[in-house]
């Protein structure tokens, strides 16, 4: 094995041999298949369908799903490694894998009935993209203030409302959707449902034109009397808030992985550039001021990665990670903003153009402080955990 380089390979003691082999396989795939497609997908504003097919073929869309349902029977740590490696090239390509594993497969495997798991997990691991629908136009950080309603009619539930900012919304065929079945009970009326794209009354609305992760679809969902069979309730009726919280705790590890991948990608590009760029008769890398900026960025990136890995390990061991997940997402997104900003500046005027990758890393980093809970919401979660 080779030792760490400026491309920031994890210290070998952090990973088992199987994890190392898995990481290296994903890293090779990302370099060969994701990297050449990045700018084309960025301009088109969508993920290459061939790439998604390869995700399924490699088992990346069902990493934690038990083998009996077509998954790899792996761990959250493996999800983390996959998202991190893909994000070194393209955060948008990585979020497809992240959402599938942490926000869709996980709650169905964790809270679904045997029938739900048998019906949907084989599809999600083989050919169908999933999406997670919690946010609404009037309920972002206040997620449990949702207006979407679910009313029981005979043996079905009928869902009415709108969902916003749904990642994978345009491509998904299966959605984990939250609605309130008893508004008088407040958040204790919230219930989770598994909804198929073909269900009566369901449609995908506007696709957002975004600052970053442009190849990843972010859409509105319109629920106009969507008829959902009673057996598609995910977890107990009225316990959707627990499903949402537990799922987001796992999902924040995925966002942390995305952000440390973005940081490493940006830093690797900047490091290579300053070795080549000549100013005042020598390479930029020979100036101490440049060296110190790179050293600081590398140190913060490594600290963020250790926090993300630690949270993943704790979750895999069965521990509550509400605080650790929040801290790793908070810090990794802060680091990603700083590192991508420094990296862009090291490219000088070239960094501000689309001819180099720095500006894309910079734009992609910003979403880390927003989705799956803003940085202020992470601080709130951490403070509550400290003071309870």
The pLDDT tens digits for 322-376 are: 999 999 999 999 999 999 999 999 999 999 999 999 999 999 999 999 999 999 9
14 pLDDT tier (thresholds 50, 70, 90):
confident
What CATH class has 12-126?
mainly alpha
Q: Which residues pair with 227 in a beta bridge?
A: 158
Q: How many whole angstroms separate alpha carbon 198 and alpha carbon 360?
A: 35
pTM: 0.95
Read off the tokens for 271.
């490091």
Residue in 42, 64, 246, 372 annotated catalytic: 372
Report the candidate in 354, 343, 363 with the shortest Cα–Cα distance to residue 92: 363
Angle at 89 between CA 121 and CA 375, to 5 degrees: 75
Q: How many whole angstroms separate alpha carbon 100 and alpha carbon 59?
A: 12
Task: Give the number of other CB atoms < 10 A from CB of residue 28.
Answer: 11
Sign of CA dihedral 253, 256, 257, 258: positive
13 pLDDT tier (thresholds 50, 70, 90):
low
Report the candidate in 209, 313, 314, 212 with the shortest Cα–Cα distance to residue 262: 212
What CATH class has 242-387?
mainly alpha
Backbone φ and ψ for 169, nearest 5 degrees, come out as: -55, -35
Q: What is the mean pLDDT of the chain?
A: 96
Q: Which CATH superfamily is domain 130-238 in?
A: Butyryl-CoA Dehydrogenase, subunit A, domain 2 (2.40.110.10)
> 7 pLDDT exceeds 60?
no
How many Cα atoms are found within 13 Å in the side-chain-facing hemisphere of 153?
11
* Domains 130-238 and 242-387 agree in fold: no
Read off the tokens for 295.
């050293």
Secondary structure element (H or E) that encloses residue 115, with its range: helix 114-126
Answer yes or no: are the C-beta atoms of 248 and 74 closer than 8 Å.
no
To the query of whether residue 324 is one of the catalytic residues in this protein, the response is no
Q: How many whole angstroms separate alpha carbon 258 and alpha carbon 256?
A: 5
162 pLDDT tier (thresholds 50, 70, 90):
very high
Answer yes or no: are the C-beta atoms of 133 and 163 closer than 8 Å.
yes
The pLDDT tens digits for 30-81 are: 999 999 999 999 999 999 999 999 999 999 999 999 999 999 999 999 999 9
Q: How many whole angstroms separate alpha carbon 72 and alpha carbon 97?
A: 14
DSSP per-residue letters across 201-260 = TEEEEEEP--SS-TTS-EEEEEEEEEEEEGGGEESSTT-HHHHHHHHHHHHHHHHHHHHH
> For the chain, which residues make up each domain, given as ranges?
12-126, 130-238, 242-387
Q: What pLDDT is recorded for position 3?
A: 40
Residue 113: exposure state from Cβ atoms within 10 A (0-12, 13-18, ≥19): middle
Helices (H), 282-321: 288-316
Strands 278-279, 202-207: parallel, antiparallel or unpaired by DSSP? unpaired
Residue whose entry in the numeric block shows the structure tokens 């990481």 = 23
Which residues lie closer than 8 Å to 108 by C-beta, 6 or more apart? 116, 117, 120, 121, 124, 176, 194, 234
Strands 233-234, 190-196: parallel, antiparallel or unpaired by DSSP? antiparallel
Q: How many whole angstroms separate alpha carbon 181 and alpha carbon 321?
A: 28
């Amino acid at each position: 094995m080779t030792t760490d380089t400026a491309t920031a390979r994890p210290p070998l003691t952090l990973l088992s041999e199987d994890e190392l082999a898995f990481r290296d396989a994903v890293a090779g795939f990302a370099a060969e298949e994701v990297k050449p497609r990045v700018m084309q997908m960025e301009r088109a504003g969508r993920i290459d369908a061939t790439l998604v097919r390869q995700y399924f073929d490699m088992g990346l869309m069902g990493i934690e799903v038990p083998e009996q349902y077509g998954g790899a029977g792996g761990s959250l740590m493996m999800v983390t490694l996959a998202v991190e490696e893909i994000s070194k090239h393209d955060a948008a390509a990585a979020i497809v894998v992240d959402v599938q594993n942490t926000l869709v497969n996980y709650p169905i495997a964790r809270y679904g009935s045997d029938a739900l798991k048998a019906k949907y997990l084989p599809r999600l691991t083989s050919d169908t993209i999933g999406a997670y629908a919690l946010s609404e136009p009037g309920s972002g950080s206040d997620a449990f203030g949702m207006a979407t309603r679910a009313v029981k009619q005979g043996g079905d539930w009928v869902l009415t409302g709108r969902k916003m900012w749904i990642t994978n919304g345009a491509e998904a065929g299966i959605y984990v959707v939250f609605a309130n079945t008893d508004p008088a009970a407040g958040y204790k009326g919230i219930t989770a449902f598994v909804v198929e794209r073909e269900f009566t009354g369901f449609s995908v609305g506007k696709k957002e034109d975004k600052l970053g992760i442009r190849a990843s679809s972010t859409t509105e969902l319109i629920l106009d009397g969507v008829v959902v069979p009673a057996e598609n309730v995910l977890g107990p009726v009225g316990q959707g808030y627990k499903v949402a919280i537990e799922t987001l705790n796992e999902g924040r590890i995925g966002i942390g992985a995305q952000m440390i991948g973005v940081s490493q990608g940006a830093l690797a590009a900047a490091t290579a550039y300053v070795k080549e760029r000549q100013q005042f008769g020598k390479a930029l890398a020979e100036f101490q001021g440049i060296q110190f900026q790179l050293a600081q960025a590398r140190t913060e990136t490594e600290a963020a990665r250790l926090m993300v890995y630690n949270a993943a390990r704790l979750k895999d061991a069965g521990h509550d990670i509400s605080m650790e997940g929040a801290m790793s997402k908070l810090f990794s997104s802060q680091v990603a903003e700083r590192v991508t900003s420094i990296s862009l500046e090291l490219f000088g005027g070239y960094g501000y153009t689309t001819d180099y990758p720095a500006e894309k890393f910079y734009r992609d980093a910003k979403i880390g402080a927003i989705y799956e809970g803003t940085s202020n919401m992470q601080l709130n979660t951490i403070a509550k955990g400290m003071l309870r």
